Amino acid sequence: TDTDKGIVIPDNWPGYPLDLFTFPEHYSEDLDCVYIPHGVIMDRTERLARNIMEDLGDHDIVVLCVLKGGYQFCADLVDCIKVLCRNSNKTLPMRVDFIRLKSYLNDQSTPDLHIEGAENLSGLSGKNVLIVEAIVDTGKTMKTLLDHVEAFRPKMIKVAGLLVKRVPSGTGYLPDYVGFEISNRFVVGYALDYNEYFRDLNHICVISDRGKQKYKI
């Protein structure tokens, strides 16, 4: 349907000028614009939590947070679900588990994907699993992860992705719950990094050429 892709941010969206918001001084030269302000991320997350409650309410779920980039979205999503649970008659008992993936160097996806913490997913067998990931780019990471998790025979797997990129080379994979569809630009902040920088930035921003140079490995 119309809402499957979440909030669609068009290619011509210039972002907001940095001066209209607050952000850490140490990144003042490293960003082009505020692409999605923190408050908008939170508002959208609140609605995703409601959708998840409506679909999965009264089941038990295991939330599988994909580190490191997914930690902020996962924490905020779980918080929103907790608020809904204590303010309604529906319940959604949750466990939280973590898995760590790494495939990026600088702003390029690399073919070798490392999964850490994957040995110990036997607890997912027979469970309803909600994978929480910050961003789906080509979709390769998600496909690898899904194959991996499926091997542990969960009862059901759903995926929540905060951001999905419009990429020509993409697999066309869409998470069950999507926050925003964005253009094919490298974004940072809200726990998304560039070589481990920018996780301490609250908004989702577009990195500047200068920022890319400065933090290049």
Query: What angle is formed at CA 40 by the lines to CA 129 and CA 162, rounded to 5 degrees?
Result: 30
Whole-number Å distance between alpha carbons of 44 and 92 = 20
Asked if 41 and 179 touch (Cβ cutoff 8 Å), the reply is yes
Binding residue for ligand 5GP, selected from 104, 152, 197, 215, defined by CB under 6 A: 104
- DSSP character for 11? T
Binding residue for ligand 5GP, selected from 81, 92, 131, 137, defined by CB under 6 A: 137
Between helix 71-86 and helix 38-56 the angle, nearest 10°, is 60
Nearer to ligand 5GP, 92 or 142 (CB): 142
Which x/- pattern, by CB under 6 A, does the window 4-43 give for ligand 5GP? ----------------------------------------
Catalytic residue among 55, 97, 112, 137: 137
Binding residue for ligand 5GP, selected from 44, 47, 100, 140, defined by CB under 6 A: 140
Nearer to ligand 5GP, 88 or 171 (CB): 171
- Please count the CA atoms within 13 angstroms of the CA of 80 that sit on its side-chain side: 19
20 Cβ partners below 8 Å, 6+ apart? 34
Footprint of ligand 5GP on this chain (CB under 6 A)? 69, 103-104, 109, 135-142, 186-188, 192-194
Q: Which residues are catalytic?
A: 137
